[in-house]
């Protein structure tokens, strides 16, 4: 008897095991800290984003409400009798004085800076300030050219900063029309400084939040940080230029960039940005913004993310401590279990495992043999089913063509009946020469009927699957003869562009079935089209192969339906008009030829392509 097998040497030295255990614990703690930090940071930024979006909605609605409640003032001024009298007599000093008093009343009631009335050229006729300009200087004044251009562009409101103080001011103006003629312009100028001062006060009290209002040119026109006002932050994420061109709506000063750099995207569309100060210092913010479509502006809030990062660090330390506790506990339990797991029955366990393994191998071998036999039987049954499916497809095609074929046979039958009656009458009259001509005509009609039935018998016969050189042109001509009644009845033009007489290696009967299936689908697709053209052409392929292309001028299919064309029982026809197996059968036949049937969008409708092997010595021209 053999002695017990020698004990295997441990894979790792004993001293290395605790080192690896503590190293694994350290990795688990590090991963836990990273995961806790990332989770806490994401949750913090999501909370920060929710708060910022609520604030954005509040600021945007406040701004829209503040401006919206003054939008109706030009219409009220226009309807005032004193204003109407002013435009009827613009040179009258009395009319100007009355209009000025009325404009002053409108100014006080609306808490506006100025209300004014101008002639069509933009020259001041009357204002709430008396005979003073819109900017406050005495003397004749014209409407700001920017506002004039906005009125010509059918825009009745515009932001124009005070040229000297830089105060944010907003104009509402509209032309006054009488009998389709512009007789003057009325408007009101508002100050946005009170609203901006409120925002500045909120920004001072809440140091973690800064507000910007940016116009369509990417320039900050209102801000809770005074030194950022009239600086550029770019448009739609583009970097602003170093020095913008002078624009009329801004103060007489250079518009410089805010030096805001997008570092990375945040959660829910927010962006982490860094703003550089002139002294080289920088501050990091989370930027969220909201568009105000009615004004063409956008409101941006810059939130301080440092509290989020601080909480994320606390979460990371807490996660690491918890993971360290669990890891130490797991190491203790593992060591205790390992000590208890040492038993003297290792040899018996090994023998039992060996016996079980041998039994499983024998069982698995038997299962594999049985599965192999079942697979062979299944392959044979599938091949038989595929052959029957191909034959069923042919019979289905014959059923679809039965109406047209019966029409083709009905005309010769009618001619046979007429010729037979005429021959009987000629025999009774003894006109043998005419009888002979009638019999010849009857023979020709019978031959025509025989050719029609022969085509049906040839198409319906089962294929033997023998690949041999066959004529592609002959297969196309056979398809044309078989579907001739539909081409003629539906006025379809068939263009055949096949160079020469190429011979391809395949089964002629199955190749004819593929062409008939594709042509039948094309005819169905072109039923409602004004132009019906079926094109059959050949294209060169790699090596000794040729591509056959069948293209129609139908309505085509969308991409989602095009991808499902070769699924069994998928059809775009009405219920009862098709089983959805024609293309599946055709694709299987082409695979037997060693090629692939593909469908894609053509110049107008759909195009089907498949490749065939050229016969020995054949070359595509």
Domains located in the chain, CATH noted: 73-133+140-191 (3.30.450.20), 194-308 (3.30.450.20), 369-462 (no CATH), 463-613 (3.30.565.10)
Contacts of 212 (CB under 8 A, 6+ apart): 220, 222, 223, 224, 228, 233, 299, 300, 301, 302
* DSSP tally for the chain: helices H, then strands E: 14, 18
Please report the pLDDT score of residue 142 as a whole number.
Answer: 40
* pLDDT tops 70 at residue 121: yes
* pLDDT tops 50 at residue 137: no
Alpha carbons 416 and 443: distance in angstroms, whole number: 9
* pLDDT tops 80 at residue 163: no
Alpha carbons 386 and 592: distance in angstroms, whole number: 11
The tens digit of pLDDT for each residue in 234-251 reads 654 454 544 444 466 777
* pLDDT tops 50 at residue 140: no
Please report the pLDDT score of residue 206 as a whole number.
Answer: 61
* pLDDT tops 80 at residue 445: no
Alpha carbons 371 and 364: distance in angstroms, whole number: 10
Please report the pLDDT score of residue 141 as a whole number.
Answer: 37
Nearest to 67 by CA among 303, 299, 300: 299
The tens digit of pLDDT for each residue in 204-218 reads 556 667 888 888 878
Task: State the average pLDDT over residues 107-123.
Answer: 83
* pLDDT tops 80 at residue 290: yes
Residue 139 — very low, low, confident or very high, per pLDDT cuts 50/70/90?
very low
Percent of residues, the chain, with pLDDT higher than 70? 75
Contacts of 383 (CB under 8 A, 6+ apart): none
The tens digit of pLDDT for each residue in 479-509 reads 887 777 788 888 899 999 988 888 999 888 7
Query: Is 216 within 8 Å of 243 (Cβ atoms)?
Result: no
* pLDDT tops 60 at residue 282: yes
Scan for tokens 């070769």, then name that residue: 566
310 token code pair: 């601080």
* pLDDT tops 80 at residue 252: no
Alpha carbons 340 and 344: distance in angstroms, whole number: 11
Nearest to 462 by CA among 394, 400, 520: 394
Within 13 Å of residue 75, how many CA atoms lie on the same side as its CB?
A: 5
438 SS3 class: helix
Query: Is 620 within 8 Å of 614 (Cβ atoms)?
Result: yes
HEC string of 494-548?
Answer: EEEECCCCCEEEECHHHHHHHHHHHHHHHHHHCCCCCCCEEEEEEEECCCCEEEE
């Amino acid at each position: 008897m053999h002695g017990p097998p020698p004990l295997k040497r441990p894979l790792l030295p004993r001293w290395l095991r605790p080192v690896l255990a503590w190293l694994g614990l350290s990795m688990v703690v590090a991963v836990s800290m990273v995961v806790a930090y990332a989770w806490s940071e994401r949750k913090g930024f999501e909370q920060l984003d929710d708060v910022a979006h609520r604030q954005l909605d509040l600021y945007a609605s406040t701004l829209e409400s503040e401006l919206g409640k003054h939008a109706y003032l030009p219409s009220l001024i226009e309807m005032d009798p004193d204003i109407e009298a002013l435009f009827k007599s613009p040179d009258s000093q009395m009319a100007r004085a009355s209009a000025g008093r009325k404009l002053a009343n409108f100014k006080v009631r609306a808490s506006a800076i100025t209300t004014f009335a101008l002639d069509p050229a933009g020259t001041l006729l009357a204002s709430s300030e008396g005979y003073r300009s819109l900017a406050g200087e005495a003397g004749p004044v014209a409407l700001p050219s920017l506002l004039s251009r906005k009125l010509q562009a059918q825009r009745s409101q515009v932001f124009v900063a005070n040229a000297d103080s830089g105060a944010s001011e907003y104009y509402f103006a509209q032309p006054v029309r009488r009998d389709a003629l512009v007789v003057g312009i009325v408007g009101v100028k508002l100050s946005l400084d009170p609203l901006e001062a409120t925002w500045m006060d909120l920004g001072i009290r809440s140091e973690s939040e800064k507000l910007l209002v940016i116009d369509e040119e990417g320039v900050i026109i209102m801000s809770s940080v005074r030194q950022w006002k009239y600086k550029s932050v770019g448009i739609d994420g583009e970097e602003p230029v170093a020095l913008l061109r002078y624009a009329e709506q801004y103060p007489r000063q250079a518009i410089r960039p805010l030096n805001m750099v997008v570092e990375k995207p945040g959660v829910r569309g927010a962006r982490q940005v860094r703003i550089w100060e002139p002294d080289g210092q920088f501050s990091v913010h989370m930027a969220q913004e909201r568009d105000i479509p009615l004004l063409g502006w956008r409101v941006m809030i810059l939130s301080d993310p440092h509290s989020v990062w601080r909480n994320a660090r606390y979460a990371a330390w807490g996660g690491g401590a918890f993971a360290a506790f669990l890891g130490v506990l797991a190491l203790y339990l593992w060591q205790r279990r390992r000590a208890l797991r040492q038993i003297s029955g290792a040899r018996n366990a090994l023998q039992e495992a060996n016996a079980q393994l041998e039994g499983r191998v024998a069982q698995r071998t038997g299962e594999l043999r049985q599965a192999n036999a079942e697979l062979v039987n299944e392959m044979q049954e599938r091949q038989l089913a595929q052959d029957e499916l191909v034959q069923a497809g042919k019979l289905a095609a014959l059923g679809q063509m039965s109406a047209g074929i019966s029409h083709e046979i009905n005309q010769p039958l009618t001619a046979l009946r007429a010729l037979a009656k005429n021959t009987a009458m000629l025999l009774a009259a003894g006109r043998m020469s005419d009888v002979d001509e009638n019999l010849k005509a009857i023979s020709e009609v019978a031959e025509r009927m025989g050719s029609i039935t022969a085509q049906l018998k040839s198409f319906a016969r089962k294929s033997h699957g023998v690949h041999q050189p066959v004529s592609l042109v002959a297969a196309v001509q056979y398809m044309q003869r078989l579907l001739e009644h539909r081409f003629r009845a539906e006025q379809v033009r068939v263009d055949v562009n096949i160079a020469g007489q190429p011979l391809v290696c395949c089964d002629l009967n199955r190749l004819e079935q593929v062409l008939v299936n594709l042509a039948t689908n094309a005819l169905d697709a072109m039923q409602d089209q004004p132009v019906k053209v079926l094109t059959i052409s050949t294209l060169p392929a790699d090596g000794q192969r040729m591509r056959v292309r069948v293209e129609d001028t139908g309505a085509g299919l969308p991409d989602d339906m095009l991808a499902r064309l070769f699924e069994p029982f998928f059809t775009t026809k009405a219920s009862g008009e098709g089983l959805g197996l024609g293309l599946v059968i055709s694709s299987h036949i082409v695979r037997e030829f060693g090629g692939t049937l593909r469908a894609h969008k053509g110049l107008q409708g759909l195009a089907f392509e498949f490749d065939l092997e050229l016969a020995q010595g054949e070359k595509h021209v």
